[in-house]
Structure formats: C-alpha cells, structure tokens
Amino acid sequence: MIEVKNLYKNFGKLEVLKDINCRVALQEVVCVIGPSGSGKSTFLRCLNLLEEPTAGDIYIDGINLTDKNTNINAVRQDVGMVFQRFNLFPHKTALDNVCLAPMKVKKLSRDEAEKIARELLDKVGLSDKADVYPEQLSGGQQQRVAIARVLAMRPKVMLFDEPTSALDPEMVGEVLAVMKDLAREGMTMVVVTHEMGFAREVGDRVIFMDEGRLVEEGTPEQVFGNPQNERTRTFLGKIL
C-alpha cells in the first residue's frame, strides 16, 4: 500500500530524515515510536507531501508521489491525516467540519455529505454534537470529530501524528478506542504515538526512529520484548 524508498529530507542544512526505507501493507497498522525530534512527524508529513522530500520515492497505492506529474490533491483524498492539535475549522460546526471536504472536493450535494457526516459522527460517538462548534468540545471530542472529518473522504490510508499527545489523560482512551475500531475494520494506518500499550495491542508492526534514521522494525513482540538495537533498548528503558 505504501512503499518508501531512500527517503531523505533536509531543512536547510539540517538533515532530518536519512535514507528511510519501509513498506506498509494493505490493512496493516504500523506504529512509529522514537524520541522527540527524531523525525517522526516529518516522516509522516512526507507521506502526504505536507513536506516535500529532498530525495527518494514514495509510492502510495502504486502512485509515485514525488513524480512531478502526480496530482497531489487527488492523492491526498486517499491519504487522511489526523493532527496532534486536531486543527478543526473553528468557524464551522462539527457537522460542517466533516461535510466541507466531501462537498467541495468530491462535489457531493449538501444532503449526501450530511448523511455521511451524521453516520460518521455517530460512529465516533458524537451524534449529539453535530451542531456544536469546536471550541465547545473537549479535546477528546475534537479529535474524534477530526477523525470523522478524515473518514468522510473515504481514505485508503490514515496517518496519525501523536493523536493523543495534546489530550488530558482521561480523554486518551476514547480516541484510542475509535482508532482500535478503525484498525479492526481493516483501515491501513500509520500511527506516530507514545502510547506503547496501543502499539503493542493494535500495531501489526512497530518502527523505531532515532536521529532521522529508521533504526529498528518488527512486530510489537520483537521490538518491545527483544529489541536488537542498543538505541532502541535505551529508548524503551526510559519510557517503559
């Protein structure tokens, strides 16, 4: 589903990603872990070209993102992204947040878009919040609306950048529960997270990044139970 080959990313002189290679299969859930500043967000943002790679190739569903002729807006419809800070549209209600892209990008009618939006809000447990503005929602609720907003585009892949890091502890569970449902339904997901419990339980594979390199990857059992690399052991020793 996703294939990354020799990916490099520099910010000016700073080398943030160095020779990343990896694959994500259809319906696979890959969790990315690593210390702060190791390039996890940058890696994820390269996958929908919010950051332009300095070198390398990224294929999503067979389409080469770094090819100049690729219509990036079309690709992005298939690659949803959930942000750490939710980034809901504050001037729109929860329902309109979910409806906007289907109406403007996919040209659905208001009725069609609303029908889908209500179903999705129901799915994330917020059918009673349809007409509420983001500022009146808790962090956990906002993140669930953000997930519904992405789902409304019927993406093939979903990218999550620390979706629970900005949440109060008591709200982490509700967001993780929605993500677990998605994983169970077969959504292909790449999740940058500090929730090791989630990575262990839901992840099919775990990738450990450090200083811009993909240091180690394997099943959760391998990476958490028997890490091969010294740096992985140090990192896990600090956080577990």
Partner 1 sequence: MDVVIENLPVLIFQGAKITLQITIISVAIGCLLGLIGGLSRLSRRKVLRFLATAYVDFFRGTPLLVQIFIVYFGIPKLLMDLQSFMVDSYGMTPVADSFALPRFLAAVIACSLNSGAYVAEIFRAGVQSIERGQMEAARSLGMTHGQAMRYVILPQAFKRVIPPLGNEFIAMLKDTSLLSVIGFAELTRNGQLIIARTYESFAIWLTVGFIYLIMTFTLSRIVDYLERRYKTGD
Ligand X SMILES: Nc1ncnc2c1ncn2[C@@H]1O[C@H](COP(=O)(O)OP(=O)(O)O)[C@@H](O)[C@H]1O
Task: By CB under 8 A, name the binding residues for partner 1.
Answer: 48, 50, 73-74, 76-77, 79-81, 83, 85, 87-91, 100-101, 104-105, 133, 135, 146, 149-150, 153
Rounded distance between C-alpha atoms, residue 61 and residue 54, angstroms: 21
Q: Describe the chain by its helix, strand, coil percentages, rounded to 5.
A: 40, 25, 35
| Residue 193 lies near Mg ion (rule: CB under 5 A) | no
Pick between residue 152 and residue 206 the one whose CB is nearest to partner 1.
152
Pick between residue 38 and residue 48 the one whose CB is nearest to partner 1.
48
Pick between residue 32 and residue 148 the one whose CB is nearest to Mg ion.
32
Pick between residue 38 and residue 41 the one whose CB is nearest to partner 1.
41
The one of ligand X, partner 1, Mg ion, none whose footprint includes residue 69, by CB under 5 to 8 A per kind, is none
Which residues sit opposite 189 in a β-bridge? Answer: 29, 158
The one of Mg ion, ligand X, partner 1, none whose footprint includes residue 54, by CB under 5 to 8 A per kind, is none
Q: Please, what's the b/e burial string for 148-182 (b: 16 or more CB within 10 A of its CB; e: otherwise)?
A: bbbbbbebbbbbbbbbbeebeeebbebbbebbeeb
Pick between residue 30 and residue 113 the one whose CB is nearest to ligand X.
30
| Residue 41 lies near Mg ion (rule: CB under 5 A) | yes
Give CA separation, 73 vs 38, 48, 70, 76, 106, in Å.
Answer: 28, 9, 9, 5, 11
The one of partner 1, Mg ion, ligand X, none whose footprint includes residue 11, by CB under 5 to 8 A per kind, is ligand X
Give CA separation, 239 vs 14, 104, 194, 203, 236, in Å.
Answer: 27, 43, 9, 18, 5
The one of ligand X, partner 1, Mg ion, none whose footprint includes residue 88, by CB under 5 to 8 A per kind, is partner 1
Cα–Cα–Cα angle for 74, 52, 189, rounded to 5 degrees: 60
**Residue number with the smallest Cβ distance to Mg ion:** 41
Pick between residue 83 and residue 224 the one whose CB is nearest to Mg ion.
83
The residues that touch ligand X, with contacts defined as CB under 6 A, are 11, 14, 16, 34, 36-42
Which amino acid is it at 13?
A: K
Rounded distance between C-alpha atoms, residue 171 and residue 164, angstroms: 8
Nearest approach, Cβ of residue 235 and partner 1 (Å)? 28
Nearest approach, Cβ of residue 41 and Mg ion (Å)? 3
The one of ligand X, Mg ion, partner 1, none whose footprint includes residue 85, by CB under 5 to 8 A per kind, is partner 1
Q: Report the 10 Å Cβ neighbour count for 209.
A: 25
Residues lying near Mg ion in the complex (CB under 5 A): 41
